[in-house]
Amino acid sequence: MSDAASEIAKLRREQYGHSSDRRARLIDQMELQLEELEAAATEDEIAAKKVAKTTTVAGLKRRRPARKPFPEHLPRERVVIAAPTACSCCGSDRIVKMGEDITEALEVIPWQWKVIQTVREKFTCRHCEKISQPPAPFHPTPRGWAGPNLLAMILFEKFGQHQPLNRQAERYAKEGVEISLSTLADQVGACAAALAPIHALIRAHVLEAERLHGTGVAAGIRGAPIAQSAARVALTGQGRLSVFSDMTDLGTGSYTVLAQTAAEMMGLAIDQIDVHLADTDHPTSTGSLGQRGAISSASAVYAACDKLRAKIAAHLGLNHDKMAFEDGGITVADRRISLADLPVGLGAEAEMTYGDLSEQYAHQTFAAHFAEIAVHELTGEIRVRRLSSTCACGRILNPKTARSQILGAQIQGLGAALFEGLDVDTGAGFFVNHDLAGYEVPTHMDAPLQDVAFIEEEDATVSVLKAKGVGEIGICGVPAAIANAVFDATGIRFRSYPINVAAVTDML
């Protein structure tokens, strides 16, 4: 509006010169445009005031949103749209330039920012006094401040590289270009809406393509070591028992297995056991690693409970071999004694050691893994439809937690086969995908139908519990089973991981 008013003032100063009639008509035309702009602005202000009256937010001053100017240090590139050669109204070639409109768009070339200035020159016709100007250039999003290369980079980093918008905004700011998070989100949403029809067409085309199905099987073997561990148990009153160990629980069920072992040994319900872990003041365990933690620590708890049973027998003056621990008490012949009646603090500590046991026996866990996959004939996308594992891991102390261990291990094996791989920039000497934003791992969408079965067996040579560890055996062999299934579907034998879309499409 200020530019229009300035132009009117200049023309008024010249209206008494030559061609005064033509200039007067031009002034009237521009004044009419100015009145229309002022009326539109007044309507916007009235609407804003109405909204402000109905909105009560303490300490908030409403302001019209205004786009920040692009940084001055960025280079400007002028793109001048071809000017009209004749009046768009009457066709006369007697046109005179009277100004220009400039719209700016932020653009990027890899590692180089610039501002594109699109110039649309305005001309007035000497014959009919009309204004002619080239149309505004097409832009895929409203308020087109971002160039196509910049939009492509934002979308690729968001959806292709899984870079969140806040990370992108932080990086752009470090490069001297500050773009707000809400502005980036607005452009991503506009682009997604513009690309939706194309996405629907591609989706329909892809879903029409055939899929190649295959099945594969592989065997897995994993050591089942058992290591020196210690534990302490103590009665804490009201028929409760506490277990102490510096063992950790990484979500693998240590709390459950140790409580279950103590409850079985002392004849208590599992909710009467309090397990205290991850404290260096507690007896030393082997730790959570290599499918040895739970079985080693549970054996130590077994030994501590056995020692406590002997102490209780001595305290009561009874024969240890004739005592039955059940239902929260002790039964000897026709006598019944409750554990709640025993002294608080009565406890025992024990350590399990194994000498040269590992030299006498080769303790292993075994598994057979089966995979069913589908390979998209057009894109090379691999979808694992089903994973099934049958494992031999000695006595299963807790079927639910053991099954959960194998289910999680199957997904880890799936990730190793299809997703996970380190990309190294040998020129710069660093790992490109060094965080979870760039390192691909399976998601819920990638999880197939899963099934786990255990072979019932007991191995008395491993420990007093006749059980083995359950963990890595669920991974060992799963990637090989998936690779064999891909071979069955495509006839292509892959010798390295990950077997991703790029690898499949290159071979197809």
Torsion angle (degrees, nearest 10) of CA 37, 43, 48, 52: 150
Residue type, 280: T
Q: Output phi, psi for 292, to 5 deg.
A: -120, -15
Q: How far is 318 from 328, CA to CA, in rounded Å?
A: 17
SS3 content of the chain, % helix, strand, coil (to 5): 40, 25, 40
| pLDDT for the residue numbered 459 | 87
DSSP state of 138: P
- Residue 406, number of CB atoms within 10 A of its CB: 26
**Cα-Cα-Cα-Cα dihedral sign, residues 288, 301, 260, 356:** positive
CA 263 to chain centroid: 39
The letter for the amino acid at 251 is: G
In this structure, which amino acid lies at residue 320?
H
CB 4 within 8 A of CB 131: no
d(CA 482, CA 410): 11
d(CA 129, CA 141): 34
In the DSSP assignment, the letter for residue 111 is T
Q: Mean pLDDT of residues grouped by 10 in the chain (508 residues)?
A: 68 58 70 73 66 56 66 84 83 82 80 83 85 82 82 88 87 88 90 90 76 92 90 92 92 89 93 93 88 88 94 88 89 87 92 87 93 88 93 92 93 94 86 83 90 90 88 93 94 90 78
SS3 per-residue string spanning 332-384:
ECCEEEEHHHCCCCCEEEEEECCCCHHHHCCCEEEEEEEEEEEEECCCCCEEE
How far is residue 101's CA from residue 117's CA, in Å, rounded to a whole number? 10
User: What is the bridge-based pairing of β-strands 430-431 and 273-276?
Assistant: unpaired
What is the spatial distance between Cα 330 and Cα 97, in angstroms, rounded to a whole number? 107
CA distance 110 to 32: 46
Cβ atoms of 352 and 228 within 8 Å: the answer is yes
Per the DSSP assignment, residues forming a β-bridge with 121 are 100
pTM above 0.85, yes or no: no
Six token digits for residue 468: 């083995």
Q: How far apart are CA 412 and CA 474, in angstroms?
A: 9
Residue with tokens 């990484």, as numbered in its chain: 250
Radius of gyration of the chain (CA): 38
Judge whether 208 counts as a catalytic residue: no
Task: With CA atoms as reference, report the closest residue to 151 among 110, 181, 106.
Answer: 106
21-39 pLDDT tens trace: 666 667 777 777 777 777 7
| The predicted structure's pLDDT at residue 2 | 65
CA distances to 68, 85, 141, 242, 287 from 188, in Å: 19, 39, 9, 55, 47
Cα(456)–Cα(469) distance, integer angstroms: 14
Question: Which residue in 107, 121, 129, 472 is the catalytic one?
Answer: 472
pLDDT score at 4: 66
Query: How close are the terminal C-alpha atoms of the chain, in Å?
Result: 62
Residue from 374, 346, 370, 354 nearest 478 by CA: 370
pLDDT for res 136: 80
Distance, CA of 4 to CA of 34 (rounded, Å) = 7
Q: Is 452 exposed, middle or buried (0-12, 13-18, 19+ CB in 10 A)?
A: buried
402 token code pair: 């053991």
Task: Note whether 397 and 262 are within 8 A (CB).
Answer: no
User: What does the pLDDT read at residue 384?
Assistant: 94
